């Protein structure tokens, strides 16, 4: 039996987040983007609303929501601002989830309550200057010596990892295996302020300009052996599993961002006149809007199905990849149409579609590029 109704709670959640995004984020999104400012104030407000730790058990301060509710929340924020959606999606999926899924009871009690309340943020250090899609090629090393891990290396493009709320990062490091041996990869917790650990905020981005992106440097960083997250040598499967779930959030950003750009374009097309009538009455524009609406609807349905599969504890990984790939590429086509519909004004930052156009590109690159998604999907097909 098919049923597309959201629950009362999901409807209320969508409404409350839409109100919040319209009233609290929309008035400042342009200014923050222009000045490349990560807003502590807005992040704390999002924390108070309950946007961090959405899928974490309430006993650690989370909200205990399902995947669909989480994606509805990300979608609604991305409809207004991809940057704040990035803060939320990265924090939930990458900052918080690995600690929640693989942390010891002690680690969970120590870190999760502050992360779920938004008092602190957490980074997930995976990508390196020379290891992105090829994550197995990580060069950051951790050596166990006298009850401590000593970490050396560097990470890049790490969201939420270099601001005054950052409590620390989960870093993926090579902990064994040399030469011809298969590399042993593990995840280790490094708290902010640990000597030798530097986080530097990255600027001059095309995309997500008011989200916090960091370069991380580890120079003989010493942390206790008990900072190992999960089992030694299981870092790679942990990372893959984290990204499988994270893809749902990126897909939700694609759907929400496409929706926001579409609404702006539709509104403009009804008002802007050429040749004596609103441009939406010209078939050339009307057909674009129709195509945009169809593609967004299709992407949303694919995303919600992937969420449904996950919430039913059925295999969802293939659908999560499909949703991430499709929604991010749908948003690419939608923002392209939206700028075209705005004409010259679409090229100006004071109109909303330019920012959607810029913020879209990350979605085809981050948390597994579109090319990687096609590899994942084709492997599910037995290729």
Partner 1 sequence: MKIGVLVKQVPDTETKIKVLDDGSGIDENGVKFIVSPYDEFAIEEALKTKEANAGSEVTVASLGPSRCVESIRTALAMGCDKAIHIDDEGSGPDSYVTAKALAKVIGDQGFDVVFCGKQAIDDDMGQVPQLVAEFLAWPQVMILENLEISEGKAKATRRVSGGAKEVYELTLPAIFGCDKGLNTPRYASLPGIMKAKSKPVETLKISDLKGDANNKLEYSNFRMPPEKAPGKVLSGEVGDQVKELVRLLREEAKVL
Active site residues: 367
Single out the segment in contact with partner 1 by CB under 8 A; choices: 59-67, 124-132, 272-280, 352-360.
59-67
- With residue 330 as reference, give the H or E element that holds it: helix 317-342
Q: How far is CA 360 from CA 126, 234, 298, 299, 303, in A?
A: 22, 33, 18, 15, 17
CA distance 259 to 85: 14
Residue 352 falls in which region: left (phi positive, over 0), alpha (psi -120 to 50) or beta: alpha
In this chain, which of 29, 32, 50, 108 binds partner 1, going by CB under 8 A? 50
Task: Confirm or reject binding of residue 228 to partner 1 (CB under 8 A).
Answer: no
Smallest distance, partner 1 to C-beta of residue 231, A: 32
In angstroms, give the least distance from the CB of 42 to partner 1: 13
Question: Which of 32, 54, 199, 265 contacts partner 1 by CB under 8 A?
Answer: 54
| DSSP states of 304-324 | HHHHHHHHTTS--HHHHHHHH
- Contact segment (CB under 8 A) with partner 1 among 32-40, 48-56, 209-217, 357-365 equals 48-56
Identify which of 131, 52, 60, 130 has the alpha carbon closest to the alpha carbon of residue 90: 52
Q: How far apart are the C-alpha atoms of 381 and 180, rounded to whole Å? A: 31
Q: Check residue 218 for interaction with partner 1 (CB under 8 A).
A: no
DSSP-derived 3-state class of residue 216: strand
Residue span binding partner 1 (CB under 8 A) among the ranges 7-15, 173-181, 190-198, 213-221: 7-15
**CB nearer to partner 1: pick between 46 and 229:** 46
Asked whether 88 and 103 are in contact (CB, 8 A), the reply is no
Q: Where in 66-85 is the site for partner 1 (CB under 8 A)?
A: 73
Q: Tell me which DSSP letter residue 130 carries.
A: T
How far apart are CB 327 and partner 1 at their closest, in Å? 23
Stretch of 14-22, 83-91, 233-241, 345-353 contacting partner 1, by CB under 8 A: 14-22
Single residue of 25, 42, 56, 65 touching partner 1 by CB under 8 A: 65
Least Å from the CB of residue 192 to partner 1: 26
Cα three-residue angle 143-175-102, rounded to 5 degrees: 115
| DSSP H or E segment with residue 200 | strand 197-201
Q: Is 270 in the site for partner 1 (CB under 8 A)?
A: no
> Which residues contact partner 1 by CB under 8 A?
8-9, 12-13, 16, 19-20, 48-51, 54, 58, 63-65, 73
């Amino acid at each position: 039996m098919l049923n597309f109704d959201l629950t009362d709670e999901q409807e209320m959640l969508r409404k409350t987040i839409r109100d919040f995004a319209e009233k609290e984020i929309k008035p400042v999104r342009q200014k923050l983007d222009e000045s490349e400012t990560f807003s502590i104030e807005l992040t704390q407000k999002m924390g108070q609303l309950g946007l961090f730790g959405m899928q974490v058990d309430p006993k650690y301060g989370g909200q205990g929501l399902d995947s669909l509710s989480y994606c509805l929340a990300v979608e609604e924020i991305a409809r207004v601002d991809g940057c704040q959606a990035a803060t939320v999606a990265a924090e939930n999926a990458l900052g918080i989830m690995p600690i929640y899924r693989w942390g010891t009871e002690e680690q969970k009690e120590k870190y999760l309550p502050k992360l779920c309340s938004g008092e602190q943020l957490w980074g997930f250090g995976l990508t390196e200057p020379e290891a992105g899609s090829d994550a197995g090629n990580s060069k950051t090393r951790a050596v166990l010596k006298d009850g401590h891990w000593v970490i050396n290396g560097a990470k890049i493009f790490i969201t939420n990892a270099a601001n005054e709320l950052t409590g620390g990062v989960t870093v993926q490091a090579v902990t064994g295996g040399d030469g011809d041996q298969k590399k042993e990869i593990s995840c280790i917790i490094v708290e902010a302020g640990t000597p030798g650990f530097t986080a530097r905020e990255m600027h001059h981005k095309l995309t997500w300009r008011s989200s916090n992106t960091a370069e991380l440097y580890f120079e003989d960083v010493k942390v206790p052996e008990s900072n190992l997250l999960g089992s030694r040598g299981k870092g790679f499967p942990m990372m893959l599993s984290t990204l499988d779930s994270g893809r749902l959030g990126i897909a939700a950003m694609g759907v929400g961002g496409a929706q926001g750009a579409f609404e702006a374009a539709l509104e403009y097309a009804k008002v802007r006149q050429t040749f004596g009538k609103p441009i939406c009455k010209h078939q050339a524009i009307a057909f674009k809007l129709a195509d945009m609406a169809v593609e967004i609807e299709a992407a949303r349905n694919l995303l919600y199905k992937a969420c449904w599969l996950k919430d039913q504890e059925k295999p969802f990984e293939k659908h999560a990849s499909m949703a991430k790939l499709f929604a991010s590429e749908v948003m690419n086509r939608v923002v392209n149409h939206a700028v075209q519909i705005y004409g010259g004004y679409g090229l100006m930052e004071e109109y909303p579609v330019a920012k959607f156009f810029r913020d879209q590109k990350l979605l085809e690159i981050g948390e597994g590029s579109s090319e990687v998604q096609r590899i994942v999907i084709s492997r599910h097909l037995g290729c």
